Amino acid sequence: MPAFICTACGVQYPPAEAPPDSCPICQDERQYIPPAGQQWTTPARLAAAHRNAWHQHEPGLLGIGTTPAFAIGQRALLIRTAEGNVLWDGLSLLDDATVALLRALGGLAAIAISHPHYYGNMVEWAQTFGCPLWLQAGDRHWAVRPDPAICFWSGATQALPGGLTLIHAPGHFDGAAMLHWPGGAEGRGALLSGDIVQVAADRRTAGFMRSYPNWIPLGPAAVRRIGDAVAPFAFDRVYGAWWDRVIETDGKAAVERSVARALHWLEAP
């Protein structure tokens, strides 16, 4: 039985004879059902027409993204630490080449995902590499493919192998999380932000929204909370959710300026 994948959000459901009736993640006001309606694919059909491409963003950090782009089109990040490899955010495709390459790199010590839009086929990755899959407990009800590998964490932060820290930053989702990598940016630190802190097109600032495709803003309290959540962490670079959405330097000040800018417009008379 195939584990069907929603072609709009890329999230995979438990193996079944037939696809689910609907995708709750796409029915949610933060995502959307495409004009052509809800459609599904299978891992085999996806692998037949797509592959995963790799790019080294900097030493110790590999981007992995599916090409041609599928569903939301994010790329994942593989952080290589002395305590093993950690996958940040999910894709929908785990093909044979990706399995072989990751095994040659030492497999995975952990997977962590920022929020449900990037869940993809995360359970397949966790099962293949026999590693824990970290999700923030606030999004427990969005984990539509349950699995023993899923570890729900709660509280403000969660330590991962290699000195990495998950940071809870509710806003886009109740369980929204970001990842701090102290070894990033040549030791100045990097924030892997998914779209919780959404790196903007200028690659110098960021935005904060409840829904990006449907233009639903976050209120001032939530924006402040996101700024406060990352304030204790040192970082110079911010890796957003797409290949080119990276604030290369001065990232911490860029996030602070972006929080102040958002609050200015949210609170303008």
Binding site for Zn ion (CB under 5 A): 6, 8-9, 23, 25-26, 117, 195
Strands 157-159 and 150-153: unpaired
Residue 134 or residue 208: which is nearer to Zn ion going by CB? 208
Answer whether 183's CB lies under 8 Å from 191's CB: no
Residue 77 or residue 185: which is nearer to Zn ion going by CB? 77
Which DSSP string do the residues of 17-83 spell out, in sequence order? SS--S--HHHHSTTS---TT---EE-HHHHHHH-EEEEEEEETTEEEEEEES--TT--EEEEEEETT
CB of 7 to Zn ion, least distance (A): 8
Angle at alpha carbon of residue 79, lines to 78 and 85, rounded to 5°: 85
Single-letter amino acid code for the residue at 144: V
Per the DSSP assignment, residues forming a β-bridge with 63 are 55, 77
Which DSSP string do the residues of 115-142 spell out, in sequence order? SGGG-TTHHHHHHHHT--EEEEGGGGGG
Residue 11 or residue 102: which is nearer to Zn ion going by CB? 11
Single-letter amino acid code for the residue at 183: G
CB of 264 to Zn ion, least distance (A): 24
For residue 68, say if its preceding peptide bond is cis, omega within 30 degrees of 0: yes
Residue 117 or residue 252: which is nearer to Zn ion going by CB? 117
CB of 197 to Zn ion, least distance (A): 12
Residue 208 or residue 235: which is nearer to Zn ion going by CB? 208
CB of 25 to Zn ion, least distance (A): 5
Residue 182 or residue 217: which is nearer to Zn ion going by CB? 217
CB of 158 to Zn ion, least distance (A): 20
The secondary element (H helix, E strand) that includes residue 209 is: strand 209-211
CB of 196 to Zn ion, least distance (A): 8
